[in-house]
C-alpha cells in the first residue's frame, strides 16, 4: 500500500481530480485564549490549517486527513453544542427518525456560526471548487461514552424518501468523520470498515489499529483533530457503494466526540438546511 501525503493547499486539486476519476492546546485561561484566537480568525477571514492527507484506498476512495480540525475549532464545537446533545436516531424507510439499539450515542446539530462555516468551507474545498455550500447537510456532533456504539451501516440511503432530489439533494455523495476529542483513557471507539483492505506499511499504525485481525478490515483510531473522508456512491444514478459499510466500535472506557460532515449529490432545500430562503443565496450559484 503506497502512503501518500501532502500539504492542504496542494491537496485540493489532487483530491478533486481523484474523485472525478471514479465518477497546540493552551492550558492557561483557555476561554480567554480561545476568544482571542477566534477574533484573530475572524479578522483574518477563514483560514485553514496545513493538514496532510494519506490515501488509504483509491477504489473506493478513502482518505485519511491529519490535522483537519484545529484545537480552537474543536473546543468551540464542543462548547457551543454542550447543551444540545440528545439520543441519536436513525431513519426508517419512510424517513421517520427512530431510536434503535443499533445506534447508542448522543448527537447534536452544530450551531452555524463563523467557525462552523469555516469548517464547512474546508470540507467543500477538499472536494474541489465545484461543490456548492447548498450540498452540505447541517454538521452533526456525535458523542460516544462507555458501552455506546453504532452497528454496521452505510451513510448512503436505499429509501427514495431519503434521496428525493427536490428536498434532499439526492443521496449522500461523500462523508467526513472528524475526531473532535477523545479522552486520554479511551479504549475501543475506533471506526471500522470491514470490507477495506488493511494497509501494510507500519506507518499507518499511528492512525489505524494494527492489532485488528486482517479479516476485520480497517479500524481507524480516534485521534483528535484528524478525519476520515470517503466517497459513498459508485457509478451514476446515486448507487451506494457497499464497500463503505462501517461501524463505530463500542467504547469500553473513556469517551469520544466525532463530527459528521455529509455532502449530497445536489442542493438541499433551505428547510432541510434549517435556514431562511434568502440565507446564503450564493449557495445556489
- pLDDT digits 0-9 by tens, 140-182: 999 999 999 999 999 999 988 888 888 889 999 999 999 999 9
More confident call, 114 vs 31? 114
Taken in order 99, 218, 144, 160, the sign of the CA dihedral is negative
**Domains of the chain listed by start with CATH number:** 8-23+43-272 (2.60.120.620)
What is the Cα–Cα distance from 48 to 227, expressed in whole angstroms?
14
Cβ neighbors of 107 (< 8 A, separation 6 or more) are 85, 86, 87, 88, 89, 140, 141, 142, 143
Quick one: pLDDT at residue 246? 98
For residues 65-85, average pLDDT: 97
Q: Which three cell numbers stand for residue 285?
A: 450559484
Tell me: the pLDDT tens digits for 6-28?
555 445 555 555 555 555 333 44
Output the pLDDT for position 32: 52
Mean pLDDT, range 42-71, rounded to an integer: 91
Cα–Cα dist 130/121, whole Å: 12
State the pLDDT at residue 222.
Answer: 98
Nearest CA-CA partner of 279 in 87, 61, 212, 271:
271
The pLDDT tens digits of the residues spanning 183-227 come to 999 999 999 999 999 999 999 999 999 999 999 999 999 999 999
Question: For 222-279, what is each residue's pLDDT tens digit?
Answer: 999 999 999 999 987 789 999 999 999 999 999 999 999 999 999 998 877 876 655 4
Q: What is the pLDDT of residues 88-144, one digit of tens each?
A: 877 766 667 777 878 889 999 999 999 999 999 999 999 999 999 999 999 999 999
**Contact of 86 with 241, CB cutoff 8 Å:** no
Q: pLDDT band at residue 284, thresholds of 50, 70 and 90?
A: very low
Q: What is the mean pLDDT of the chain?
A: 85
pTM as predicted? 0.83
Percent of the chain with pLDDT over 90: 66
User: Which residues, other chains included, contact 26 with Cβ-Cβ below 8 Å and sequence gap of 6+?
Assistant: 33
Amino acid at each position: 500500500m503506497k502512503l501518500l501525503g501532502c500539504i492542504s493547499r496542494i491537496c485540493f486539486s489532487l483530491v478533486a481530480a481523484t474523485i472525478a476519476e471514479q465518477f497546540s492546546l493552551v492550558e492557561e485561561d483557555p476561554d480567554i485564549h480561545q476568544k482571542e484566537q477566534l477574533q484573530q480568525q475572524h479578522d483574518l477571514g477563514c483560514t485553514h490549517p496545513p493538514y496532510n492527507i494519506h490515501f488509504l484506498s483509491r477504489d473506493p476512495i478513502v482518505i485519511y486527513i491529519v490535522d483537519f480540525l484545529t484545537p480552537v475549532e474543536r473546543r468551540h464545537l464542543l462548547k457551543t453544542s454542550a447543551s444540545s446533545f440528545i439520543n441519536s436516531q436513525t431513519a426508517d424507510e419512510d424517513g421517520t427518525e427512530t431510536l434503535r439499539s443499533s445506534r447508542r450515542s448522543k448527537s447534536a446539530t452544530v450551531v452555524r456560526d463563523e467557525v462552523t462555516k469555516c469548517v464547512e468551507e474546508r470540507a467543500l474545498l477538499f472536494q474541489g471548487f465545484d461543490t456548492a455550500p447548498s450540498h452540505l447537510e447541517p454538521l452533526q456532533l456525535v458523542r460516544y461514552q462507555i458501552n455506546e456504539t453504532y452497528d454496521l451501516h452505510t451513510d448512503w440511503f436505499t429509501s427514495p424518501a431519503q434521496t428525493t432530489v427536490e428536498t434532499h439533494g439526492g443521496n449522500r455523495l461523500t462523508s467526513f468523520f472528524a475526531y473532535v476529542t477523545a479522552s486520554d483513557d479511551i479504549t475501543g471507539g475506533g471506526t471500522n470498515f470491514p470490507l477495506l483492505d488493511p494497509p501494510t506499511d507500519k506507518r499507518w499504525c499511528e492512525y489505524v489499529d494494527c492489532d485488528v485481525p486482517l479479516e476485520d478490515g480497517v479500524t481507524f483510531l480516534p485521534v483528535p483533530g484528524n478525519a476520515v473522508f470517503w466517497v459513498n456512491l459508485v457509478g451514476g444514478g446515486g448507487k451506494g457503494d457497499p464497500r463503505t459499510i462501517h461501524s463505530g466500535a463500542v467504547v469500553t472506557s473513556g469517551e469520544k466526540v466525532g463530527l459528521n460532515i455529509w455532502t449530497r449529490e445536489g442542493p438541499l432545500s433551505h428547510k432541510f438546511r434549517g435556514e431562511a430562503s434568502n440565507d446564503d443565496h450564493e449557495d445556489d450559484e
